[in-house]
Chain A
Amino acid sequence: MAGLAATFGSGAMTNSIGEMEDAEVFFVIGSNTTEQHPLIASRMIRAVREKNAKLIVADPRDTKIAKLATIHMSHTIGSDVALLNGLMHIIIKEGWEASEYIKTRTENFEKLKEVLERYTPERVSEITGIDKAVLRSAAEIYAKSKKSMILYAMGITQHVAGTDNVKSCANLAMLTGHVGSPSTGVNPLRGQSNVQGACDMGALPNVYSGYQPVTDQRIKGLFEEAWGVNDLSDKAGLTLTDMMDAGQRGDIKAMYIMGENPAMSDPDSKHARKVLRNLDFLVVQDIFLTETAKLANVVLPASSFAEKMGTYTNTERRVQLSRQAIPVLDGTMPDWQIICKVSSKAGYPMSYDSPVDILDEINRVTPSYRGITFDRLNNSWGLQWPCPDEKHDGTPFLHKDKFARGLGFFDAREYAPPPEVPDEEFPFQLITGRVGFQFHTGTMTRKVSILEREEPKAFLEMNPKDARRLKLINGSKVAIESRRGELYMPVKITNDIPEKVVFSTFHYSDNNINDLTINAVDPVAKIPEFSCAVSIRRV
């Protein structure tokens, strides 16, 4: 988000899912698309199998999408910037860059060129572990096609270098002119059904809805007027990871957490749980009694998606209406009603009759949502922002003739090794992710019998060579230890993961991998690293 906002001026998927059908090249980095975005993956699969589109996948694991790839680069964990810079180096050396596009639509190219100079194929090959010839083919395929799409997910953002990784993707796309037209662009695949909508609505520390900065006096004035108050803060607040640190210091004494399960999902989650326990007051609003809710002083039972009406904004910026399917369950209330009641008790009366009222307000105060009205959503499959007025059809792809910020900004980044790399004591690199049948901390999916049948417990994926060295067979129980904790789980031996790397999921509260992970964060976006060094022994 922060990375794309800095380079393009807008942090969201630049293009649309439907455009994938006509793409000639997909460059997928840090996304296990078939498991995590299966329907988006299905578009790629059809384009590859039926229209001969080329697929380049950069992922340490040989995921399903990697198996379908024309080129699969299993690069060293945390070497994304080096890999992307290396591809750009080759593109410039070979003269495959889009000179006219660079000249008319971007700035700071000379600086990028200067940085890239140092990313020779030899050096990049050494850092990433990818053969020079493979790097060259990938660069050529991506650069030479007219319609190349980059897709990425948490595999590149959840790093200390996350913002750098995203900026490097943006640099690569601008260098080759692959932004601002159909079936191109830089496309972050969001990890949750409405995380795009939550960001759009200003559930971030530094912006109001539609990414309007809280520090801007004019914007501040507009919201003061809309809400009938006169002292809104003009300082950015704290990010999630900052809040946990502030909680530890005692600077934050109370938290109100809605629909989030940091007791499990935060890296080094033992630390997170300790912070939550030490708060003077914790309120948790959720549909189930999550691990976080169990630590709360007050739990506010919310209604599920099926019991209420509202909108979701999906990964392609499409706002979609969701209708109430069943009555509100006894003892619960839709989130918006809870918030209204709490706010009213706290001295700021909120009175909305329905979510339609709230959407009306969103339309009034959010330029990019102005034309996304209830009536229009009620009669369509949704609208893609920006949609500035009620006559506007929505925007399938961004940055058409110029970038949201004007000129696209090449922000050259340097490779830096990840904060915790394997050493003698902790010789394996642990990476984490999800499986297709479970979602995040399992709050919802672990209550569904078929999903639980398919993926009932945590496991540790390991390469057969490592397994042989440790004298493990499929299903052997191992102890996994990091600098922050220890867990026990069975191994799953597979060639899909490289040597010295192990993989596990964060779905299972009885075996929570985030007890081991590291909470070093990206200095800009404050997204944590998650991957860390571990040792493994048979038990």
Chain B
Amino acid sequence: MKRIRKDNVYPFLKEMEETRDVYCPQWLNDKDLLFLPLGDGKFDGYIGKTTVSAKSLLFPQTEEIISFGKEIVKKNTDSRNTLAFGIRPCEMKAIEFTDRFMTREGITDPHYQSKREGMISVVVACNEPPSDTCFCLDAGGKPYLDDGFDMQLFDAGDYYIAVSGSKEGDEMLSSGKFEQSDEEDGKRVEDIKKRSLESQVRKPGMKKAIETLKNGKATNEFWENLASRCINCGGCVYVCPTCTCFNVYDLQSSDGYSRYRSWDACLHAGFTMETSGHNPRPTQGSRLARRHEHKLKFDVINYGESGCMGCGRCSDACPVGLGAIEIIEELNNL
């Protein structure tokens, strides 16, 4: 355990930038906080809840995967060393969750894996929820991590208390920007953890909602009624830290052809449409059900935990008030 003064964070990141691409939360404008390269120069020390989750570092919105002309070249599969600074515990959990899917035995996604292997993470625990849509506790998580990070920081006012979770974390801690902690810091961390557990008040009741779904109590009518206000923008999917659906398409450029993949959304009709024109999820209600059953029912059955980490981004983003929080609350009204 060490500590780093907050005014030393930027110098530390600059130091890391010598060997790695460093990403941290930065304001794109006065509304959108995103993981952007440190080099963009807008890092002001603020670690909030980013609009889009850290998944964008491993699974970008649009990515070239193959180029083909005279020869076929796989793109974006080379390992790249990055540091993701300022990841929140729920996002780190989401990345671990996504790992299971993207790096399954035999069907590994090379574009994801190359970035994942080269990424080290500095998680910042949440003293209190970064926004009022945070409900990680309710979703079975915690505002801090017990493992699964390279380094975890606890906000102690003027400085962060830093805990290493891996060899890479140890190396980072050896930087001169970190100072020795005093004997009180261990107790401070315990205090922060305790308070963080108490400070989260948002509790939509995911457990109960999972049971409702498992018991088949959510009818088609229930979903169609909710979907009647869905405007099919896909925003909930794009900001979700565990949504990984994509579409593949080819584009021509002046030097040949490229194959890209871009985020896609199961809420769009064409996503499940079959070549014949038949759609097994023919209505907006059935697609909305699919999305939430996937996370709250089938992930629980298959992996023993929900695919929703309780970050609340979908509830932040949805223009019609139809994020996970609202869905869970509606399920609990059944």
Enumerate chain A interface residues (CB-CB to B < 8 A).
34, 38-39, 41-43, 45-46, 49-50, 64, 67-68, 330, 436, 449-450, 453-454, 475
Q: When each residue 134-163 of chain B gets 1 if its CB lies under 8 Å from chain A and 0 otherwise, what string results?
A: 000000000000000000000000000000
- From the candidates B228, B233, B321, name the one contacting A64 in the complex (CB within 8 A): B228
Complex contact A42–B247 (CB within 8 A) = no
Enumerate chain B interface residues (CB-CB to A < 8 A).
228-229, 231-233, 247, 249, 254, 262, 264, 268-270, 273, 277, 319-321
Complex contact B277–A475 (CB within 8 A) = yes
Whose C-beta in chain A lies nearest to the C-beta of B284? A64
State A6–B262 Cα separation when bound (angstroms).
48
Complex contact A34–B231 (CB within 8 A) = yes
List B contacts of A43 (CB < 8 A).
Answer: 319
Complex contact B229–A49 (CB within 8 A) = yes
Complex contact B269–A450 (CB within 8 A) = no
Whose C-beta in chain A lies nearest to the C-beta of B271? A453
Q: Whole-angstrom distance from the CB of B250 to the nearest CB of chain A? A: 8
Whose C-beta in chain B lies nearest to the C-beta of A490? B277
Complex contact B321–A449 (CB within 8 A) = no
Whose C-beta in chain A lies nearest to the C-beta of B268? A454
- Extra contacts besides A68-B229, A449-B247, A450-B249 (7): CB < 8 Å: A38-B319, A42-B319, A46-B319, A49-B321, A67-B228, A450-B247, A475-B277
- Name A's interface SS: helix
List A contacts of B247 (CB < 8 A).
Answer: 449-450, 453
Complex contact B321–A50 (CB within 8 A) = yes
List B contacts of A39 (CB < 8 A).
Answer: 231, 319
Q: 11 A–B contact pairs at CB < 8 A?
A: A34-B231, A38-B232, A46-B319, A50-B321, A330-B254, A449-B247, A449-B249, A450-B247, A450-B262, A453-B270, A454-B268
Whose C-beta in chain B lies nearest to the C-beta of A475? B277
Known: A42-B320, A436-B232. A450 touches B264 (CB 8 A): yes
State A475–B233 Cα separation when bound (angstroms).
27
- From the candidates B269, B270, B273, B320, name the one contacting A46 in the complex (CB within 8 A): B320
Q: Whole-angstrom distance from the CB of B30 to the nearest CB of chain A? A: 8
List B contacts of A46 (CB < 8 A).
Answer: 319-321
State A39–B269 Cα separation when bound (angstroms).
19
Q: Whole-angstrom distance from the CB of B284 to the nearest CB of chain A? A: 9
State A41–B320 Cα separation when bound (angstroms).
9
List A contacts of B273 (CB < 8 A).
Answer: 453
Whose C-beta in chain B lies nearest to the C-beta of A436? B232
List B contacts of A42 (CB < 8 A).
Answer: 231, 319-320
Q: Whole-angstrom distance from the CB of B243 to the nearest CB of chain A? A: 15
Complex contact B233–A38 (CB within 8 A) = yes
Q: Whole-angstrom distance from the CB of A452 to the nearest CB of chain B? A: 9
Q: Whole-angstrom distance from the CB of A340 to the nearest CB of chain B? A: 27
List B contacts of A475 (CB < 8 A).
Answer: 277
List A contacts of B254 (CB < 8 A).
Answer: 330
List A contacts of B262 (CB < 8 A).
Answer: 450
List A contacts of B232 (CB < 8 A).
Answer: 38, 436
State A449–B260 Cα separation when bound (angstroms).
11
Best-buried of B229, B319, B321 by chain A (most CB within 10 Å): B229
